[in-house]
């Protein structure tokens, strides 16, 4: 028969867990997602359907995060797509696709990375579908936006910021002075 002190081990319970049952494990995830704003324009219809020149597609995106509460942030993936031909503008699609992101017990640097790299990666396929549907509904071929490496972009942005900070601090950063100089 197990002694009282052995019961925790026998039940695979953590003897160091908080007595009040508080959840202290780090966790992050998407609570919900939604279209916050969508603007679709086809300014030269129906004439544009007769144009023969190849369109030039310009795709721009931006990521923003706003704190809603202590454990919830809204991540906004803004996408702007313009298509222009030699004859004029074909279409403009502007989308603000958002997700409510819940985070608890995450260190600040992990939370920042989740908000600006992982959450946009999760939201992107849904925003991509909205854009494809919008361009199809405009009367054009659905625009299938290529996958985006949000993690790589996030790391590049961090590196660029570190370089700018180093330049602002005197341009030397962690580079040691030339030999013979102190």
Residues in contact with 47: Cβ distance below 8 Å, sequence separation at least 6, in sequence order: 87
What does the pLDDT average to over 31-43?
A: 97
Could you give the CA distance from residue 155 to residue 147 in angstroms, rounded to a whole number?
17
| Cα-trace Rg, the chain | 25
The total number of structural domains in the chain stands at: 1
Position 27 pLDDT exceeds 70? yes
CA separation, residue 163 to residues 1, 99, 117, 157 (Å): 64, 31, 20, 10
Which residue has tokens 């549907």? 133
How would you write 104-118 as a 3-class SS string? ECCCHHHHHHHHHHH
Q: Which residues pair with 33 in a beta bridge?
A: 99
Whether 61 has a pLDDT exceeding 80, the answer reads yes
In a domain, 127, yes or no: yes
Domain that holds residue 90: 25-143
Q: Is the pLDDT of residue 39 over 50?
A: yes
Sign (positive or negative) of CA dihedral 113, 116, 121, 126: positive
pLDDT at 153: 92
Q: Return the pLDDT at 106.
A: 87
**Residue 38 falls within a domain, yes or no?**
yes
Question: Is the pLDDT confidence value at 10 over 90?
Answer: no
Q: Is residue 2 in some structural domain? A: no
CATH code, 31? 3.10.420.10
117 falls within a domain: yes
Q: Which residues contact 150 (CB under 8 A, 6 or more apart)?
A: 63, 116, 117, 118, 120, 121, 124
User: What pLDDT does residue 168 have?
Assistant: 87
Sorting pLDDT into bands at 50, 70 and 90, what band is 1?
very low
Average pLDDT over residues 71-79: 97
Mean pLDDT for 2-7 is 47
Q: How do residues 138-169 score in pLDDT, each as one tens digit?
A: 999 999 999 999 999 999 999 999 899 888 88
In a domain, 130, yes or no: yes
pLDDT per position as a tens digit, 77-118: 999 999 999 999 999 999 999 999 999 998 888 999 999 999
Residues 33 and 27: their CA atoms lie apart, in Å, by 18
Residue 37: inside a domain: yes
d(CA 110, CA 18): 23
Nearest CA to 67 out of 34, 103, 31, 24 is that of 103
Q: Note whether residue 178 is domain-resident.
A: no
Q: Look up residue 22 and give its two tokens.
A: 């508080």
Instruction: State yes or no: pLDDT of 174 exceeds 60.
Output: no
Mean pLDDT of the chain: 85
> Does residue 161 belong to any structural domain of this protein?
no
Q: Is pLDDT at 50 greater than 60 in this prediction?
A: yes
Ranges of H-type helices in the chain: 7-10, 108-113, 119-137, 150-168
């Amino acid at each position: 028969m197990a002694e009282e002190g052995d019961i925790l081990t026998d039940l695979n319970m953590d003897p160091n867990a908080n007595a009040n049952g508080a959840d202290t494990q780090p966790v992050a995830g998407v609570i919900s997602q939604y279209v916050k704003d969508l603007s679709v324009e086809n300014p030269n219809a129906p004439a544009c359907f007769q144009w023969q020149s190849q369109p030039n597609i310009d795709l721009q995106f931006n990521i923003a995060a706003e704190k809603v509460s202590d454990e919830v942030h809204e991540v906004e993936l803004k996408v702007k797509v313009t298509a222009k031909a030699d004859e004029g503008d074909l279409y403009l699609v502007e989308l603000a696709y958002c997700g409510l992101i819940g985070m608890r017990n995450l260190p600040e640097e992990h939370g920042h990375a989740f908000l600006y790299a992982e959450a946009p990666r999760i939201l992107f396929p849904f925003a991509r579908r909205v854009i494809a549907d919008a361009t199809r509904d405009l009367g054009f071929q659905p625009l299938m936006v290529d996958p985006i490496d949000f993690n790589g972009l996030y790391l590049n942005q961090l590196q660029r910021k570190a370089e700018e900070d180093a330049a602002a601090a005197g341009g030397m950063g962690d580079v040691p002075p030339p030999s013979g100089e102190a």
